[in-house]
Amino acid sequence: MSEVLIPLAHGTIGEELGWQERALCAQTDPEAFFPEKGGSTREAKKVCRACEVRAECLEYALQHDERFGIWGGLSERERRKLKRQAV
């Protein structure tokens, strides 16, 4: 029987789980990815640099307008900047 995929605004649940299952941050301290305001993002970014799904993660965050935390190695501010440059 074929798999039922529920369409989302972007992609499918199946696709999203595909990369999230390989997320390196899932094996680390999730709090490092949501630092307090002004807190260090260095540790999280270090993990992202070694993550094999970094591109997918960043694309997901940009598409879903994720406001908080480190995604794909970029902070909220860096993602906003990237979006402005892309326009």
We find the least distance from the C-beta atom of residue 2 to ligand SF4, in angstroms, to be 28
Q: Is 53 in the site for ligand SF4 (CB under 6 A)?
A: yes
**Residue 41 in contact with residue 35, Cβ under 8 Å?**
yes
Q: Is 24 in the site for ligand SF4 (CB under 6 A)?
A: yes
We find the least distance from the C-beta atom of residue 25 to ligand SF4, in angstroms, to be 3
CA dihedral angle for residue 36, residue 82, residue 61, residue 32, rounded to 10 degrees: -30
**Residue 54 in contact with residue 48, Cβ under 8 Å?**
yes
Q: What Rg do the C-alpha atoms of the chain give, in angstroms? A: 14
The piece of 10-18, 35-43, 53-61, 78-86 that touches ligand SF4 (CB under 6 A) is 53-61
Tokens of 81: 């900047």
Tell whether 5 is in a known binding site: no
Q: Is 62 in the site for ligand SF4 (CB under 6 A)?
A: no
Give SS3 for 12. Answer: strand
Contact residues for ligand SF4, defined by CB under 6 A:
23-25, 33, 47-48, 51, 53-54, 57, 70-73
